[in-house]
């Protein structure tokens, strides 16, 4: 009990209804010089200070006690100040921590204060993605979570994020979520807008099974009608469940991996929700009256573009891997709704043509980052032996499938022969073999601000074309040109202006090479050592350097004087230990080092180079000790010369390691493998080739690496059994078991499926005991697989391929030497049943009719690459006296079919691709 001295009772009476009643009424305290107050001293003192005119700061820590005291003592002005403070902090992003906000909401619920409840709910709804970053997100009361999801300002990057949030919350609140909240929360998810791989994969989730089944069926059905017109959407009834969640606070829109997304659904999402059905109905009637355009959504889309809403806050759009989405119509729609767009990701669209880039940069004037990635073609000329090659021009039929979204309306911005310069800074064209020199010329004319270009795997561009682009893009800082024709002309372009040592010193800062931050030219084998040295000597600001498979790399590394390198890839080169030591000693910020396949690391360097650098003779152990002293690695790929002792020397450098690849020539041994979880507790990726493994070592790795998502055991030695995988591994997403589990039966595969429930990629090679029943185990155990590789796996396909096609989200499928029951029309049939399928690889040995039908342009669906390997029977040389000796299949050739926006390229190669 405390006494409050009333030196100024008049002010108390004026400001507080509590003291007004206490000191002005008939209470016994009236007239006394002191009264007894039962209240928290700190909060009551704050109330008194406020009444007496002293400044009082309101924070998330004192809001509740201060508001409670103001309410009890009837200080209206303080209550108003608390209300204003709460309005201000909830009107801005991320000014409150999540725990404080939850406490405020609970307080509002206890006091039945609708204002506090509304402000907190609105804040959380607008900042839902921010809230998900906190571990305390799972402490959301179910009513608060439900209110947020129902709030009109709910802002999420994608429906997947919302579904994941609900499932994480339900998992953490199992005891609370057995009743209404589980079904209620799941029903709030717009399952028809989920990525197919996500929805299919959740069919094994306890809380989401029936919803995942429903969502998968709906998605596959929608994707099966990829020309779904506005009429179809409208006649199905209420369309709200197909509207992408967009609010005025939305900054990122992500619909990647959704084969059901069409231009019609995009239009539906940007029309006013209250008038969408009326607008669609009006458009349908008007377009139906125009017989020439009655079946064309392009015409209907053009009618609606003037009525779409604008979302000024949207800065990033990801429409990658949406095979039913016609790019041109989508862009016409989004350019009206997202005028502030800065980042556009549109990977895996083979129907994109470079001329469209000029249109895009005019329609999105603020666009700075464009990603148009495709799968890298397996036909890299420098890596394969080509037997024959031909191409067939793409003659797309003028059907609804190609013409229905061909929207060229008056509302579309016209494309001129010389488009206006853009603000594009970063452009990714990886894997686009249809990009030519003329395309690079056009890009260099349009993208004057370009500082980052990714041409990896663009095999159709020439060294001259790359060089011209480099010379035209004056502020280029990053060039990624692995597996292209990048050669001496391009090097000269990067080194232009250097003619002597004196001039080099004077003009050094003006060179493109000096400004380079990233240079990736791995696999570009036409590079001359002398010119490469000249380039590297001038590129002293490099942060990322890839010289994979480049010859004479030592001299180039010796000439490198930079100290800012963060990534170095010299895999499969003749790099020496002193050359590596020269770079490592000067670059303490190195985070990624790839030296796998470097045989020379086993040998001592010549005295010439040692004297050249004044570095004493280095052994592999010395190299790893130096690396351990100076760097903190996050990614490490190694092989020859690496051992258990190297691991111990590296310990300080790899405590933060997230990815480790140990290849041929490296030997961790049993002790090294068991030591990995202790030395590298943050590992997310572990790939082992030709290592000696054991049950105890693999079990230790899987049990004690909680962040491990990718495990690959390839061609390893030793004895492992099903015991290695006989426990729960929910975080594992990618598993490769290649030539290490010959003992695996259907039962053991089922056990693996029970313990690794969340795999999206699976590769099994050499599991010869599996039979056709394994198909059902795979499809039911991993329904969300996007990649499946089965080779030398017994008789899995001996009776055909049925259950595997229940993995609806497959994008990459390899079936080789798995049983000769695959029907002739399988490629076309699989493409029609799997809406995401881009790549398929088969072997003629498995064909039930000795060959496979080749898809035409019209029936290839989303396929971009088909590989068909052929074998020849070779007599077993160990049994020369038996004329009927067993003949085994030996690889002969591979037919590779690659489709792009212009043509089909057919290539016959010697390699088994």
Strands (DSSP E) along 230-336, which ranges?
252-254, 316-318
Q: What is the pLDDT of residue 415?
A: 37
Beta carbons of 592 and 568 less than 8 angstroms apart: yes
Determine the 3-state secondary structure of 120 from DSSP: helix
Integer Cα distance of 909 and 896 in angstroms: 8
Residues 829 and 902 in one domain: yes
Give the tokens for residue 367: 């666009």
Determine the 3-state secondary structure of 121 from DSSP: helix
Which residue in this structure is represented by tokens 């962040």? Answer: 707
Residues 271 and 369 in one domain: yes
Integer Cα distance of 83 and 104 in angstroms: 12
- Dihedral, CA atoms, 243, 249, 252, 255, nearest 10 degrees? -10
764 exposure class (CB count in 10 Å sphere: 0-12, 13-18, 19+): buried
Residues 215 and 250 in one domain: no
Whether residue 47 is contained in a domain is answered as no
Q: What is the pLDDT of residue 278?
A: 65
Whether residue 868 is contained in a domain is answered as yes
Give the side-chain half-sphere CA count within 13 A for 542: 27
User: Using alpha carbons only, what angle is made at residue 70 by residues 64 and 71, rounded to the nearest 5 degrees?
Assistant: 90
| pLDDT tens by residue, 436-456 | 999 999 999 888 899 999 999
Beta bridge partners of 5: 34
Which residue in this structure is represented by tokens 């050592």? Answer: 529
Residues 249 and 335 in one domain: yes
Beta bridge partners of 307: none
DSSP 8-state secondary structure symbol assigned to residue 551:
S
Whether residue 410 is contained in a domain is answered as no
Whether residue 835 is contained in a domain is answered as yes
Residues 207 and 337 in one domain: no
Integer Cα distance of 822 and 856 in angstroms: 19
Integer Cα distance of 394 and 390 in angstroms: 13
- Render the burial of 385-395: b for 16+ CB within 10 Å, e for the rest: eeeeeeeeeee
Integer Cα distance of 749 and 758 in angstroms: 15
Instruction: Output Rg (C-alpha) for the chain, integer angstroms.
Output: 33
Integer Cα distance of 172 and 139 in angstroms: 9
- Render the burial of 90-109: b for 16+ CB within 10 Å, e for the rest: beeeeebebebbbbbbbbbb
Give the tokens for residue 758: 């969340």
Integer Cα distance of 770 and 185 in angstroms: 41
Residues 257 and 351 in one domain: yes
DSSP secondary structure string for all residues of 378-443: S--TTTS-EEEEEEEE-----SHHHHTT----TTSPPPPSSPPP----EEE-TT-TT--HHHHHHH
Integer Cα distance of 635 and 184 in angstroms: 43
Residues 191 and 271 in one domain: no
Residues 248 and 196 in one domain: no
Report CA 368 to chain centroid distance, whole Å.
19
Which residue range(s) make up the domain with 286?
Answer: 243-290+306-373
Integer Cα distance of 535 and 441 in angstroms: 23
User: Using alpha carbons only, what angle is made at residue 647 by residues 652 and 544, rounded to the nearest 5 degrees?
Assistant: 65
Integer Cα distance of 623 and 580 in angstroms: 8
Whether residue 897 is contained in a domain is answered as yes
Residues 773 and 907 in one domain: yes
| pLDDT tens by residue, 139-191 | 889 899 999 999 999 999 999 999 999 998 988 887 654 555 667 788 889 98
Q: What is the pLDDT of residue 359?
A: 84
Integer Cα distance of 233 and 260 in angstroms: 12
DSSP 8-state secondary structure symbol assigned to residue 604:
P
DSSP 8-state secondary structure symbol assigned to residue 717:
B
Q: What is the pLDDT of residue 463?
A: 96
Whether residue 831 is contained in a domain is answered as yes
DSSP secondary structure string for all residues of 564-593: ---EEE-TTS---HHHHHHHHHH-TT--EE
Residues 328 and 262 in one domain: yes
Integer Cα distance of 239 and 314 in angstroms: 23
- Going by their DSSP bridges, the two strands 887-899 and 903-909 should be labelled as antiparallel
Whether residue 878 is contained in a domain is answered as no
Whether residue 620 is contained in a domain is answered as no
Where does a domain end: 373, 396, 415?
373
Counting DSSP H helices and E strands in the chain, the numbers are 36, 26
Beta carbons of 798 and 847 less than 8 angstroms apart: no
Q: What is the pLDDT of residue 528?
A: 87
Give the tokens for residue 96: 């409150």
Where does a domain end: 373, 400, 427?
373
- What's the chain's length in residues? 913
Integer Cα distance of 862 and 899 in angstroms: 10
Number of domains into which the chain is organized: 3
DSSP 8-state secondary structure symbol assigned to residue 851:
S
Residues 264 and 159 in one domain: no
Residues 358 and 254 in one domain: yes
Helix or strand run (H / E) with residue 518: strand 518-520
Low-confidence ranges of the chain (pLDDT < 50): 1-4, 6, 177, 227-228, 287-299, 397-417, 498-505, 605-614, 883-884
- Which own/partner contact pairs does 871-875 have at CB distance under 8 Å and 24+ positions apart? 871/843, 871/844, 871/845
Where does a domain end: 340, 373, 406?
373
């Amino acid at each position: 009990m405390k006494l409050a001295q009333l030196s100024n009772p008049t002010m108390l009476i004026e400001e507080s209804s509590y003291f007004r009643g206490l000191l002005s009424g008939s209470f016994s305290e009236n007239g006394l010089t002191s009264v007894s107050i039962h209240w928290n001293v700190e909060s009551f003192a704050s109330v008194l200070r406020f009444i007496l005119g002293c400044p009082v700061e309101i924070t998330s820590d004192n809001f509740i006690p201060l508001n409670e005291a103001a309410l009890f003592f009837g200080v209206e002005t303080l209550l108003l100040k608390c209300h204003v403070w709460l309005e201000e902090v909830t009107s801005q992003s991320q000014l409150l921590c999540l725990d404080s906000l939850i406490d405020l909401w609970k307080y509002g619920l206890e006091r039945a204060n609708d204002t506090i409840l509304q402000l907190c709910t609105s804040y959380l709804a607008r900042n839902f993605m921010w809230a998900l970053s906190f571990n305390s997100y799972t402490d959301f009361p179910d009513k608060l979570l439900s209110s947020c999801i129902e709030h009109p300002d709910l802002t999420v990057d994608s429906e997947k994020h919302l579904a994941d949030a609900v499932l994480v919350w339900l998992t953490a609140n199992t005891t609370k979520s057995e009743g209404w909240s589980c079904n209620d929360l799941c029903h709030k998810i717009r399952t028809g807008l989920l990525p197919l791989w996500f929805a299919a994969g959740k069919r094994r989730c306890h809380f989401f099974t029936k919803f995942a089944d429903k969502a998968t069926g709906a998605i596959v059905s929608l994707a099966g009608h990829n020309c779904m017109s506005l009429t179809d959407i409208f006649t199905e009834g209420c369309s709200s469940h197909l509207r992408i969640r967009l609010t005025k606070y939305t900054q990122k829109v992500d619909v990647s991996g959704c084969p059901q997304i069409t231009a019609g659904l995009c239009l539906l999402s940007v029309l006013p929700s209250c008038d969408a059905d009326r607008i669609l109905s009006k458009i349908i009637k008007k377009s139906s009256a125009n017989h020439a355009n009655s079946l064309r959504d392009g015409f209907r889309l053009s009618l609606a573009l003037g009525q779409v809403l604008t979302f000024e806050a949207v800065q990033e759009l990801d429409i990658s891997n949406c095979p039913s989405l016609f790019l041109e119509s989508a862009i016409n729609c989004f350019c009206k709704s997202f005028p502030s767009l800065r980042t556009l990701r549109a990977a895996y669209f083979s129907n994109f043509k470079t001329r469209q880039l000029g249109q895009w940069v005019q329609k999105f004037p603020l666009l700075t980052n464009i990603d148009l990635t495709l799968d890298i073609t397996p036909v890299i000329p420098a890596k394969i032996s080509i037997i024959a090659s031909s191409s067939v021009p793409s003659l797309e039929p003028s059907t609804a499938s190609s013409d229905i979204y061909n929207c060229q309306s008056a509302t579309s911005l016209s494309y001129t022969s010389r488009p206006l310069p853009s603000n594009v800074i970063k452009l990714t064209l990886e894997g686009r073999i249809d990009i030519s020199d003329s395309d690079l010329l056009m890009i260099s004319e349009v993208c004057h601000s370009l500082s980052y270009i990714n041409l990896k795997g663009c095999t159709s561009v020439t060294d001259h074309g790359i060089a011209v682009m480099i010379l035209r893009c004056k502020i280029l800082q990053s060039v990624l040109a692995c597996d292209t024709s990048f050669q001496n002309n391009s090097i000269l372009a990067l080194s232009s202006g250097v003619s002597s040592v004196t001039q080099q010193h004077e003009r050094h800062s003006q060179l493109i090479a000096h400004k380079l931050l990233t240079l990736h030219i791995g696999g570009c084998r036409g590079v001359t050592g002398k010119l490469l040295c000249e380039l590297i000597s001038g590129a002293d600001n490099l942060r990322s350097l890839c010289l994979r498979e480049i010859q004479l790399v030592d001299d180039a590394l010796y000439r490198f004087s930079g100290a800012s390198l963060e990534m170095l890839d010299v895999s499969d080169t003749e790099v020496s230990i002193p050359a590596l030591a020269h770079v490592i000693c000067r670059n303490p910020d190195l985070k990624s080092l790839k030296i796998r396949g470097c045989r020379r690391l086993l040998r001592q360097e010549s005295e010439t180079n040692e004297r050249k650098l004044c570095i004493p003779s280095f052994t592999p152990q010395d190299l790893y000790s130096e690396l351990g002293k100076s760097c903190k690695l996050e990614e490490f790929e190694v092989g020859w010369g690496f051992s258990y002792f190297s691991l111990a020397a590296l310990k300080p450098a790899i405590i933060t390691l997230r990815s480790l690849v140990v290849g041929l020539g490296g030997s961790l041994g049993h002790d090294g493998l068991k030591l990995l979880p202790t030395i590298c507790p943050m590992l997310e990726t572990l790939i082992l080739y030709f290592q000696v493994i054991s049950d105890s070592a693999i079990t230790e790795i899987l049990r004690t690496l909680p962040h491990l998502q990718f495990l690959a055991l390839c061609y390893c030695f030793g004895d492992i059994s099903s015991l290695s995988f006989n426990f729960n591994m929910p975080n594992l997403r990618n598993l490769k078991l290649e030539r290490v589990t010959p003992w695996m039966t259907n039962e053991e595969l089922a056990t693996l499926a029970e313990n690794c429930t969340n795999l999206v990629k699976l590769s099994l090679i050499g599991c010869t005991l599996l039979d056709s029943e394994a198909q059902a185990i795979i499809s039911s155990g991993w329904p969300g697989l996007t990649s499946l590789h089965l080779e030398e796996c017994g008789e899995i396909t001996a009776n055909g391929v049925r259950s595997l096609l229940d993995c609806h989200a497959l994008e990459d499928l390899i079936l080789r030497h798995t049983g000769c029951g695959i029907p002739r029309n399988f490629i076309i049939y699989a493409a029609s049943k799997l809406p995401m399928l881009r790549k398929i690889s088969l072997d003629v040995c498995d064909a039930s009719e000795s060959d496979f039908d080749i898809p035409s342009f019209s029936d290839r669906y989303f396929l971009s690459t088909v590989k068909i390997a052929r074998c020849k029977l070779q007599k077993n040389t160990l049994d020369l006296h038996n004329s009927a000796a067993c003949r085994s299949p030996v690889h002969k050739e591979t037919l590779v079919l690659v489709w792009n926006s212009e043509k089909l390229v057919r290539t016959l190669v010697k390699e088994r691709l």
